[in-house]
Every structure is written in C-alpha cells, then in structure tokens.
Amino acid sequence: MTAQSIAGFLVLDKSTGISSMKALARVRILARDTAKGAKSGHAGTLDPLASGVLVIGIGRPATKLLSRIVGASKRYRTEIDLSGFTASDDLESEVEPVSVEAPPTQDDIQSALGRFVGDIMQAPPAFSAIKVDGKRAYQLARENKLDSLPARPMKVHELTLVSYEWPSVTIDIHCGKGFYVRSLARELGEALGTGGYCESIRRTAVGPFDLEQARTLSDLPDSIREGDLICIEEAISMLQEDIDVKDDDHA
C-alpha cells in the first residue's frame, strides 16, 4: 500500500471549543504518514460551540462523495433557554433577559413546534458565515452593520420535545441541509412570547453517519490508517440505504 492509497471516511465526534477546520487540521496531522498529499475535507461545518458528528473524507475517492453527504439530512439535539435572547442566538453573546408574565406550558411548546415542521421559511442567524456583499455576516454583525438576514426555504422532517422545565427545553431535530438550530431557538421564543437561545447544540447524525460510529480526537491513533476509516464501498452502501429508508417513509 502506498502512502497515497488511503481513502475513506472518518466520523468524528467534534468537541465544543474547536472549529470544524481546526478539527480537520488535527485529523490531517494524524493521517500525514498514510495519506501524504491526499485531499481531505469535511461534510458540513459545526460551530465551535456545537459538538457532535463531523464526517471527514480522506483521499480523492472520499472527497468526491462529500457533496452527496453534505446534502443528506441532519439530526441534532439542542437545549434552548427561553428566558432571554442573545445577538448570536447562543452563548457566544451576552444574554438579554426577557420578562415573561407566565411561562408557557408543555402543550404551548408542542403546539409552537408544529409551526416549524415541513417546508418552512427560516431566517439564518446574523452571526453566521453567510456572505453579504463579499463579507461574512458575522463580521458585519460584530460591527453592528447587520441586524438580520432574509428568510430562506428549509425542510424540517421532525421536531421532538424531549423535556421541558422552565426555562430550559430540550428538542430533537431531524432537518434538511442548511437548517440553523440557533434560528429555531430564536423563532421558537418569538412564537411563544418568550426569549430563546441555544445553551447547547449536538449533531447526532449526518445522513447514515451517527454518534455510534464516531470517535473523538483523543480516541484516534497517532497514525490514522485505512482500517480506521469507513471504506468507500461501505459508505456508498450506507448512503443508498439511507435514501431507501426515506423513500419507504414517504411511500
């Protein structure tokens, strides 16, 4: 096996406090002896304050499939604090408390969540990497030059209320490409007449790749080899099975 022959997918459980690109850079270092010169990339950015599944492709056969994985549905679990808003819709910004006369009931929250299921319009967070006139939205937001972004069409397959005890609500999300969990927090709060920002975001799956297959950076060997990766053939089979399951669900 030559150094350039390694190819496949690594499902990383990214921790909070590190960007997706820095996590990818760490993996590249660990694969430098077995994938020297090979292309690599990831299938969808996670914010530094978010944790969970980051699918990394190593080698050209894998990176060619990344766009297909990027387009797959995603699953998240998020904890939302309804007692305030923040400029970034998470804990990156200072919390501005909201006065709530009577906390919503669990039925109120369940009813409000129903508004965000199906084909919806969603406004991305102002603190996002979307480009506006050649600049990242978060750069403009930090300079107080951007208050909001226009809404875009999104697909939400399911929202499940996991638990609720004022002011914290935990929700499981199954959504399409481009969905912003932080926007759900903000818009849910607006719908309820409360606040709404993410205390935590954890991505539990990208298409068929989930936390059961994931390894943390500290779990990885000093030198990543072919056996540490999901091979191309298996990944293609997993992606096809994921499509078949969705087709059966909509039959």
- Which positions are annotated as active-site residues? 47
Place of tokens 């709404």: 196
| Nearest C-alpha neighbor of 127 from the set 168, 78, 181, 170 | 181
- Count how many Cα atoms sit within 13 Å of the Cα of residue 26 in the half-sphere of its side chain: 19
**Which residues, other chains included, contact 219 with Cβ-Cβ below 8 Å and sequence gap of 6+?**
none
Largest CA distance in the chain: 67
Place of tokens 């923040």: 86
Place of tokens 């077995």: 34
Strand-pair category, 74-81 with 131-132: unpaired
CA pair distance 65, 8, nearest whole angstrom: 10
Q: In the structure encoding, which two tokens stand for residue 23, read together?
A: 């996590």
Strand-pair category, 40-42 with 74-81: unpaired
Q: Count H helices and E strands in the chain, helices first.
A: 7, 13
The SS3 of residue 234 is helix
